[in-house]
Structure 1
Amino acid sequence: MTKLTVLILSFIAFGCSQSNNPIEFYVDVTGNDSNQGTLEAPFKTIEQAKNAIRALSEQQRQKNINVYLRAGTHTLSETIVFELEDSGADNTKITYQAYQNEIPIISSGVPLKNWKKLGTYPAALPEVAKGNVYVTDIPDGLGRFYTMFDGDKRIPVARKEGFDFKNINYVRAKSMNVLHEKDRYLLRRLELTGGKILKSWPNLEDIEVGFAPVPWTMNMMQLESVDEKNGIAWTTLEANAPPAAKKSHTKPWVENVIDYLDTQGHWVVNTHERKIYYWPESGEPSENLVIPKLKEYFRVEGKIDYKGPIDTPTKNIVFKGLTFMHGERDTWWKGHKGWGIQHDWDKFDRGNAMLRFRGAQDCEVTECRFTNSGGSAIRLDLHAQNININNNLIDFVGHMGILLCGYGPGTKDVNKNNSITNNLIHHVGRIMKMGAGIFMWQSGSNHVANNLIHHVPRKAVGVCGIRVPILQKRDINFDEASKTIRWDEIDTSISSEGSFWERYTPFLHASNNIIEYNEVYRALEELADGSALNVSGAGEGNIMRNNYAHHITSHASGVMRTDDWQRGTTFENNVIYMANISGIVHKGFNHIVNNIIVDCSSKESIRFASYPDEEADYGSKIQNNIYYESKDAIKYYNISYRASEGISKPEDCDTDKNIFFCAGNINQANKFVEAKRKDGIEINSIVADPLFEDIANQNFKLKPKSPAFKLGFKKIDMSQIGLKKNLFPKRYIKFDVEDIDGRRPNFHRNRKGEETYDFW
């Protein structure tokens, strides 16, 4: 009998005699793993508590088990993996939670000590930095790292703009990737123009260039070589698409070069010298400086049979009241092409979130905080079912807030039936600007409700799968998610009837998701061509309803959008207020019913667009919507980006029973409706004031005599939208960020950046 077993048995002998009492263990950073794990004699590590639970008998594990973490920073040097033997028994839970009101922090931060003011200056150090820079050694056992933190704040790495890429011609895939194998070299080649910023530095492997090859994503690429004379540079890895494949307002930059350490509050690392250089914002380095060792802290992982039909999940584990911080940013690897989910916004089955479920079921994450990290907060990979993520705060993380990532197209549909409710998510994607608040890829029948999401660089909520053109290129394995496709399953079960799209839709598992009662503002803050609430290349049956999206100004496309290769989606009962982009972008056979769109006059209420090779799929319902402008000019509908003859225009839809009103120019609406009636639509639509209760204070409740009700408009109860603060942890409310800039008058009427970029 092991020493641990003896300790555990002696500890539980009394406690377990009372059948209704849960078993309890305690972990304290000042504890000792030779202790019994009691409140008075706690373990030191979470790993030891996990092992103590494993040592319990089967009978003892029929109880609920609580592992209480005491206050302090619990520093991990390795990922803690919760496997099948760590599952809670049926009808029980094993809960890892904060003790009472204490704040246990889970971190992988390695302290940086022994800072010395730089005396001998590197030749390239900017003059302005001399006398201000400190230096220390990279801690033993660590190499190249990508993020650095000062307590609860991430410190940015030194960077420099001022160069660009020349336009190139190439044969393009629909994704903007190269189409042919022979052209893949273009994914690594940078033809430089502008300032002579890039140089052939001796530590090129430490140096990265960041750029948006297309407006809707970005890449961080390590340099391999720089030919300064001829203006040609090469990266070690292939990009999402050739640089400058489609220009945007996002300009490229280079980072982690001591030549450009010219601003306080920045740092660089040189692995050749094993030195870290830092210009502190406060004059001297603080005692709280750390660099991360891990990307992934906790992984709940069952037995994955990747090629087989059935996985065995780890079950019944709960995480409650914990704070996760100081995680590392992810990087790509050789051979990554084909493993990226849509537009390489993230990678398939990748350990780059602080909390990860991979082959898990019936688990919960509640009242936790994920903050101040270089990577993502939470991932649900492959088999993930009945995972409940509620009442958490996710803020200031480098990539995704919450990612659900199922298997690639095939018959294995096991990432589903999860719940993401009442979370506060803001300032995600702080490094990787394609990061979303909540993103579901090949994941279906999920419920996303009552979340408050704001200040995100791209999407608040996205639902995506693999677009049809990629499924049509079976012989190409270097396009988006092409390596995830389960061709053996498709070949044995695909129907021989119907269009290509109809035949492949059953393998697109991002279907039947319900996204409702969420509040979103200040989304789409970075990059371009996107939407705050987006469905693209997914399955059918997705519903976005009763959401409130407001105060959005960006370079992007629309507040809500059904994007390329999407059908069978419904947008209903949503309120969109104050945006400098389209209220809704409509493509394909998708329905827009009973929505309120107010003050989106910089573009239009609804933009009707198409995607390449779109086939005619008419008959979408565009009904019972209210289009309102408080000033004197508005474009209600617009038709643009005619990428195919199959574009679904207003007259191709069942477009009727809508209300149009422009408070400063009623005649404009009258003329618009008259013109549309000549096109055979809007026959029963009217021009009238919808009679909002108090639009100035964002009260869009309709007065009892509103003419909208006669047309069949259904009431939208906005009191149910957004965070339920009576359930949300009060201690986290103070970490929310007030939106001062977004509440400026006419904030939404600024078509920001349009001089340099307007994709449409």
Structure 2
Amino acid sequence: MKHFIWFAVCSLSVACASAAEFHVSPNGSDENPATAAAPVKSLEKARDLARAARKLKPEEPINILLQPGIYMLRKTVEFTKDDSGTESAPLTIRAWNDPRSPNDWPKLVGGIVVSDWKKSDFTGNASSGGGQVHEADLKPLAIDRKFRQIYLNGTRQIWARYPNYDPALPYSGGWAYVDGKRPPMYTDIEGERTDTVVMRAEDQRRWSRPTDGEVCIFPRYNWWNRIEKIQHFDPATRTITLDRKMQYAARGEDRYAVFGMKEELDAPGEWCQDVEAQKLYFLPPRTLGGSVVTVPTVDTILNFTGASNVVLRGLEFTCAEARSVGLTNCERIVVEKSLIHDLGYFSGAGISIRGGRDCAVRGCNLWNLGGHGVEIYAGDKVKMEKCNHVVDNCYIHHVGQFNRHGIGLMLSSCGAILSHNLIHDMPRCGVFYGGVLNTLEYNRIRHCNLEMEDTGCTYGGGWTGGWTTIRYNHCTDSIGLNNHGKFFVFAWGIYLDESGCGFDVYGNIVERCQVGAMHLHNARENHIYNNIFAENACSDPNLERFGTTHQISLQGWTDDPNGVFLGDREPKMVKDYDRLVENPEWKKMRGMAVPPKETILPDGTVMRGNRVERNIFYYPCQPKSRYVRVSNCNLEANIFDHNTVWNGGAEPILTGRQGTGKVQADLTQNIPNRQFPAATEEQLKRDPNQTAAQGWYWYHKQFADVKSEVVADDEGRPTLRIPAAHNPEMKYIKYACVRSEPFPVEPGKDYRLSFGLLTKDASEAMTARLVSENGGLWRAFGSQSFRPQDGRRTECQIAFHYPAKGEDNYDERLGKLNIQFEFCSKTGTAEIGNLTLEEVLPASEWEAWQQAGADVHSIVADPMFVDAEHGDFRLKPESPALKQGFEPLPLDKIGPYEDGARVTWPIREAEGVREHPEWLRSVPIGEG
């Protein structure tokens, strides 16, 4: 590919003997000639000299050589198109290898040293021990703007906060909680304010200047946090009013902390700033003698706008409000073999690429960042113009230290390539991929989602987001922390969200991810094949809010007029779709032949075109986890096949599917009034719950004016027609529901109930079940929902086991059963008829899954890894997965590699939750 070729040319040009050279040193002088012996002092001076040289000899490479030392920058160094090189003669800004100090780096610090510390009369909170607080006067440094980070010997210190940071519980501890009880997350509350936070009584504080502070909070959904300035604080009501509205309201029990109050300066390592008095207060963790304190003075250290053909190599960046390097509308700029760390606030990133094309970040280490690691916002989705930006062979860890939605690699791009990176210890995802036509390959991503839920190691989607290749990545240990303070919840390995379309997901290893390997949320037309999904999903269902864990999940939308799709998403999707298909090339893309207005299937579901084939699902350590969870997913429109599934063999493969084997007896005659004889006028008058059919009753009739009918089907058989009705005030059954008279069945056996169903103009499904009601017990068996094509009579079946004494789910109050049909729709009618009941042999959930048309050619068998317990996922030659068409993976190519552009080799991985599992302790609400 062209960009890889150019990067190689750049690396060669770095050492080109014919290049013009300009030397820079912190000890130089801008009056010097910029030679090795007499360097200039400032990078700006070297830049200007390079510009002049370029005008004289435009085809000659130019090197700006930074000698070892610390470069303190009071303002951003700007580069423009005037600083551009050519493809064969780039501008290179790199470290000069001083033979006298071969291990020293040029370090670019986007800040200033604060010195002249003295012990302060202000002692902070009494618990701090008094005179340990130090203060410095910022007036001589001309620092009059607010900053949100300081560094002690290069390490970020703690902005004074309440509650205090808890190093023993760095993720779940150290939080206060909004007053009140938490309402259901997905319930909207009319009139809810999004700019207030109400403190609990035990958290009442006395602040002399509340507007100095800012609130870090995870509002409502636990998807991201906000940090907002305080506009006002009312101590009487304990209400903090924020400077601006948030996207979501702060609700009861949401976690938060308050930053920047002088009164909260009470723990070693904390600091605060008095902007008006231009004072900095610091309670150092140790004596300040010999230490260096720096504060940021620039947002961006090096900023490139419209420049091209530039190489940055062998540099160290630290201490900046936002980012080390910004690239805006640039072409062919490479940042390589560099260290980027300890910088950036909420909206920052280690490196930011916006617009442009063919830029690269490679071989760099990035860590301890306030926002993202590398962010890319580039390319033109509508025109399908790829940016071809590359992030390759980088090591990224511990980002998102202010922005908890800070991502290792953040994409909103067309045609970016992320390859061979190592990413770990992320507050949310390792990679977030918005946009289209991107490639994620050969990355090693682990220990993600330490502060978020409903996410994955990789995450992306959107109706017009996708057409991205995710291949040969190794994703492990997606943890998940929910808004109740509990770890190990609601986090997958690979997550395709919000109708993400056209993804090719193959050759990946997904291992030890908490809820499951992969989740598709109404995703469409995605091909998922030749992956290894190993030891995912915890076996303890209490660790996952939504029930049993699973290896893979497909959750779709429906045509419910009040549901997510028609109620909110479709209008937005139509707008995006219409914008894209102005380019006729988009209509050729997989999934774009069906516009949003035509995507609803006959059964009312939306998800379609997904293929899950030739994968290995291996989970002996979680044998009771479900293999698959599907919801609103048509198995004719979404294909599972040729997979190898193995849970150790001691437990059945669970799918949540019900099915039956051979018929043992026809028990249809046991169903009372199965042919729906018409009720008499006397019966209707005598019992208000009586329907139009004898022996069939409204279930606690809550709709006085709703009337049923007995009508004939197209073969002349009687059916019971019921209209839709809805009463939201009812506690349990809120829709029109009819039931039969009770009848006995023999315990300890399996049964199948069959019936015909015809719906017209229905907005939702019909739920069928058999129920035992006795002595306060209400227990349903075989409950299942059906959504036939409108106006088309469909034969439906439900299966169930009726437990005998000593079996699971047995209760001594169990007795006769009645059949119930609940029409869960607000519009239309439903007709029920042709009832049959049979005693059958049981079918396993796996057999039932195959009966439904899924995994018909798949096998349950040990894939025969070489040593899965120790992470060796090579297959033995006799592996049955190979016969299913599985192709071995290039395991030795995943992750970073040794290269001249790699800043360190071998990589020594930083400590995190892998080394400190004690950090992953849940903290119940109120104990933080």
TM-score by length of 1: 0.78
Q: Which of 107, 118, 121 is the aligned partner of 2:120?
A: 118
Residue matched to 1:93: 90
Deviates more, 1:454-463 or 1:157-166: 157-166
Residue matched to 2:200: 193
Shift of 1:377: 4.0
Residues 38-66 of structure 1 deviation map (CA, whole Å, 9 limit, x = unaligned): 11111111111110011125351211111
Shift of 1:275: 2.3
Aligned-partner SS, 2:458: strand
Q: Distance in 2 between matches of 1:168 and 1:695?
A: 42
1:605 and 2:551 correspond? yes
Residue matched to 1:569: 503
Residue matched to 2:108: 106
Aligned-partner SS, 1:385: coil
Letter in structure 2 aligned against 1:50: R
Residues 165-198 of structure 1 deviation map (CA, whole Å, 9 limit, x = unaligned): 447999999xx9x99xxx6x92322234353335
1:682 and 2:855 correspond? yes
Shift of 1:254: 0.7
Residues 395-429 of structure 1 deviation map (CA, whole Å, 9 limit, x = unaligned): 1111110001137x875766611111100111111
Residue matched to 2:243: 236
CA change 1:83–1:57 in 2 (3 A) is closer
Shift of 1:285: 5.9
Deviates more, 1:612-621 or 1:29-38: 612-621
Residue matched to 1:500: none
CA change 1:171–1:103 in 2 (3 A) is closer
Q: Distance in 2 between matches of 1:525 and 1:414?
A: 35
Residue matched to 1:715: 888
Residue matched to 1:326: 319
Q: Is the 8 A contact 1:564 1:610 kept in 2?
A: no
Q: Which of 134, 154, 157 is the aligned partner of 1:155?
A: 157
CA change 1:521–1:95 in 2 (3 A) is same
Structure 1: state its 5+ residue gaps: 1-18, 303-313, 329-351, 465-509
Q: What pairs with 1:223-372 in structure 2 (closer than 5 Å)?
A: 223-244=230-251, 251-284=255-288, 286-302=290-306, 314-328=307-321, 352-372=322-342
Aligned-partner SS, 1:264: coil
Q: What pairs with 1:188-587 in structure 2 (closer than 5 Å)?
A: 188-199=195-206, 201-213=207-219, 214-244=221-251, 251-284=255-288, 286-302=290-306, 314-328=307-321, 352-375=322-345, 376-406=348-378, 411=382, 416-441=387-412, 443-464=413-434, 510-537=435-462, 539-555=465-481, 556-587=490-521
Q: Is the 8 A contact 1:530 1:557 kept in 2?
A: yes
Aligned-partner SS, 1:58: helix
Q: Distance in 1 between matches of 2:281 and 2:471?
A: 50
CA change 1:743–1:596 in 2 (3 A) is farther
Letter in structure 2 aligned against 1:160: Y
Residues 55-90 of structure 1 deviation map (CA, whole Å, 9 limit, x = unaligned): 125351211111100111111111111111110034
1:36 and 2:33 correspond? yes
Q: Distance in 2 between matches of 1:598 and 1:631?
A: 9
Aligned-partner SS, 2:355: strand
Q: Which has the higher strand share?
A: 2
CA change 1:439–1:121 in 2 (3 A) is closer
CA change 1:54–1:395 in 2 (3 A) is same
CA change 1:144–1:699 in 2 (3 A) is same
Q: Which of 155, 164, 178 is the aligned partner of 2:178?
A: 164
Q: Which of 518, 529, 532 is the aligned partner of 1:596?
A: 532
Aligned-partner SS, 2:312: strand
Residues 341-372 of structure 1 deviation map (CA, whole Å, 9 limit, x = unaligned): xxxxxxxxxxx322011010011111011001
Q: Distance in 1 between matches of 2:122 and 2:398?
A: 39
Q: Distance in 1 between matches of 2:395 and 2:217?
A: 29
Deviates more, 1:275-284 or 1:371-380: 371-380
Q: Distance in 2 between matches of 1:683 and 1:60?
A: 69
Q: Distance in 2 between matches of 1:534 and 1:369?
A: 26
Deviates more, 1:669-678 or 1:287-296: 669-678
Q: Is the 8 A contact 2:535 2:622 kept in 1?
A: no
Residue matched to 2:130: 130
Q: Is the 8 A contact 2:493 2:511 kept in 1?
A: no
Q: Distance in 2 between matches of 1:390 and 1:277?
A: 39
Q: Distance in 2 between matches of 1:31 and 1:262?
A: 42
Shift of 1:230: 2.0
Q: Distance in 1 between matches of 2:183 and 2:924?
A: 24
Letter in structure 2 aligned against 1:229: A
Shift of 1:382: 3.9
Q: Distance in 1 between matches of 2:901 and 2:181?
A: 50
Q: Which of 677, 699, 708 is the aligned partner of 2:872?
A: 699
Residue matched to 1:618: 608
CA change 1:106–1:128 in 2 (3 A) is closer
Letter in structure 1 aligned against 2:870: N
CA change 1:742–1:654 in 2 (3 A) is farther
Shift of 1:743: 8.6
Q: Is the 8 A contact 1:692 1:703 kept in 2?
A: yes
Shift of 1:202: 3.6
Q: Is the 8 A contact 1:382 1:414 kept in 2?
A: no
Shift of 1:267: 1.3
Shift of 1:450: 0.5
Shift of 1:380: 4.3
Residue matched to 2:768: none
Aligned-partner SS, 2:329: strand
Aligned-partner SS, 1:127: helix
Residues 1-47 of structure 1 deviation map (CA, whole Å, 9 limit, x = unaligned): xxxxxxxxxxxxxxxxxx97111110001111111111111111111
**Aligned Cα root-mean-square deviation (Å):** 2.9
CA change 1:20–1:599 in 2 (3 A) is closer
Q: Distance in 1 between matches of 2:855 and 2:923?
A: 32
Aligned-partner SS, 1:708: helix
1:724 and 2:724 correspond? no
Shift of 1:229: 0.8
Aligned-partner SS, 1:217: coil
CA change 1:194–1:574 in 2 (3 A) is farther
Letter in structure 2 aligned against 1:204: P
Letter in structure 2 aligned against 1:689: D
| Percent identity (aligned) | 22
Shift of 1:681: 1.0
Shift of 1:511: 1.1
Q: Distance in 2 between matches of 1:636 and 1:650?
A: 17
TM-score by length of 2: 0.65
Residue matched to 2:142: 140
Letter in structure 2 aligned against 1:432: N
Residues 474-505 of structure 1 deviation map (CA, whole Å, 9 limit, x = unaligned): xxxxxxxxxxxxxxxxxxxxxxxxxxxxxxxx
Shift of 1:728: 5.8
CA change 1:137–1:702 in 2 (3 A) is same
